[in-house]
Amino acid sequence: MRIATVGLDPAKNVFQVHGGNEHGQAVPRRQLHRDRAAAFLANLPARLVGTEACGCVHRRAGRLQAVGHAVRPMAPQCVKPYVKSHKSDAAAAAAICDAVARPSMCFVPIRNIEQRSVLALHLVRQGFVRARTARVHQIRGLLGACGRIAPQGTGLIAKRVPDLAEDASIEWPGAFRRLIDRLPAHLKRLEQPVDDTASA
């Protein structure tokens, strides 16, 4: 006998809920406003709840587990083959309800608050590193356009650019020289959050 399942497709303002009973038969689907969805699901008997994995899924899963549901997040690409009609919230909820009961389905592990905090730290640090790297490439590109090949690496750029900016033998317009002179200071400001998050 199949476990009663629920497919939950959350959107910005409304949640689409599609249920399946213990015989695998679809039960009436519902569209619920965000502030009513939690109460509706909390009043249901314990069920297997499927949902697509997203940034908010871990917090939502924790709340549903607290009221007795077994929550199984799935990657959107794993749910897509089960969509039987044109893409809509209702069709997605039905596909999720169908996919979550499949024995071969791959599920996304639910992370607790500590794990989410560590992941957030890594994601933010990656953003800082990308911003710093983009600035380094921009500096090298500007210098390259003026016939000066700057060395690769953040540390080498930071040491080399001030020397170039002070080199009077390089025929740069005054505005461009002032710009080049300011870039290392900006690069240093981008370096600080990278260092801070590395030690956090």
Interval 135-157: pLDDT, tens: 888 888 888 877 777 778 777 78
What total number of domains does the chain contain?
2
Asked if residue 125 and residue 88 are part of one domain, the reply reads no
Instruction: Write down the pLDDT at residue 121.
Output: 92
pLDDT grade, residue 3 (50/70/90)? low
| Residues in a beta bridge with 48 | 5, 70
11: containing domain:
5-100
Q: Per-residue pLDDT averaged across 62-87, rounded?
A: 91
The domain that contains 18 carries what CATH number?
3.30.420.140
pLDDT, one tens digit per residue, over 145-192 is 777 777 787 777 877 777 777 777 777 787 888 888 888 888 888 888
**Residue in 190, 183, 197, 75 with CA at minimum distance from that of residue 139:** 183
Asked if residue 121 and residue 80 are part of one domain, the reply reads no
pTM, two decimals, is 0.67
Q: Per-residue pLDDT averaged across 48-55, rounded?
A: 91
| Residue 64 Rama label (left phi>0; alpha psi -120 to 50; beta) | alpha
pLDDT, one tens digit per residue, over 78-117 is 999 999 877 788 889 999 999 998 988 999 999 999 999 9
**Residue in 62, 59, 64 with CA at minimum distance from that of residue 17:** 64
Asked if residue 31 and residue 90 are part of one domain, the reply reads yes
Question: What does DSSP say about strands 14-20 and 5-10: parallel, antiparallel, or unpaired?
Answer: antiparallel
pLDDT grade, residue 25 (50/70/90)? low
Q: Does residue 69 lie in a domain region?
A: yes
Asked if residue 185 and residue 141 are part of one domain, the reply reads yes
Detail the DSSP E strand segments found in the chain: 5-10, 14-20, 26-33, 48-52, 70-74
3-state secondary structure of 167: coil
